[in-house]
Structure 1
Amino acid sequence: MQWGVLDEIDLAIVRALRRDARRSVRQLAEEVHISRSSAHTRVRALIDSGVIVGFAAEVELAKLGLPVRAMLAVDTGASPEGSELAAALAAIPHVARVLTIAGEVDYLVEIAAPSHEALSEVVLRRVLKLPGVTSVRTHLVIGETEADPVDDLEPPGRGGGAPPRTGPVPTSPRTGPIPTRSR
């Protein structure tokens, strides 16, 4: 399998597993209308090629006692070099993710905390104390809407480019979301 090039069946498998990674190979084969052995071979190839990097349970953080979510915009005053600061940020309790970015700040840090007090503790006593951190802006998360860029992918030969998102995505019981084009 060439990296970055998936056929319609591979895309259907990836989409199906992103919707529910718990499904069995038998269920997956039935959904995309291929044999079980073909489904198994294709899933294995997607794993071996690095397209699929794992299967994980998504959890509701608020139900785990972490209802306060925030994004911290962390600036160092210089372009981030190496990953020492990113690793130090990731080691702080309640940090869910650290993104090294290009733009007005150097890092975006996602926090999931049990309280506003715990969030304040993370910002004031942990993040701002790290060597190299010059400023932190805290943005409270008040809602979340998910989108899946995998739904925008098209197999080779379909004209390339992603269709614009304009309302609900039509679906097919065979392949899941159907890519559409506006002309």
Structure 2
Amino acid sequence: MANGQLSLDLGMQERPDLLYFALRPDAGAASAMLDVAQRCKERHGLSERPFGADRLHVSLVPAISRHGVRRDDAAAALRAGSGVRAAPFPVVFDRLCTFGGAQKRPVVLCSRGRIAALEDLRQALRGELVKAGLWQGPARFRPHATLLWGRRPVPETRLDEAIGWTCDGFVLVKSLVGQRRHVDLGRWPLEAAGG
């Protein structure tokens, strides 16, 4: 407050940070992803910067309430993550493509086929989110890993070599909006039955 005037910042409210569950690639897969991203950028004349290794992930489901972001969503999401049990499974991406038709589009790795175990993990998470009082997330899901955002579409291309790893855990990510930074708030290992 200056000179007795109340200063209001109407309409300038900052966007809240995002919370979501995700898979992280192992070091070998992350290195291969960075290589594909760089070659894609050069081949298609994209000016945008590829994600760094610390931001590479496969989004599973957002962790927010049914009514939008709340202060206690992170605690509820941590409870939800703790309730999930699954065995390790392979994740393989064999294609590069662009999603969406907006001005800036995500250039992603995806798979022509289904990754059933990944879909099962996502369904288990959705069930636990509901139990924790959060939104179960959208029903539609196409597993993918975003490499960069581009202003030009990239034609769907089969990779010369598929990129894969054995998923042995999942994380709760806090994406710091506007900072191009992710912080993992929790990690849960996947263990074979009886492990």
Which protein has the larger Cα radius of gyration, Structure 1 or Structure 2? 1
Structure 1 length normalisation: TM-score? 0.28
Q: Which has the higher helix share?
A: 1
Q: Which of 1 and 2 has higher RCO (CA within 8 Å, sep 6+)?
A: 2
TM-score when scaled to structure 2? 0.27
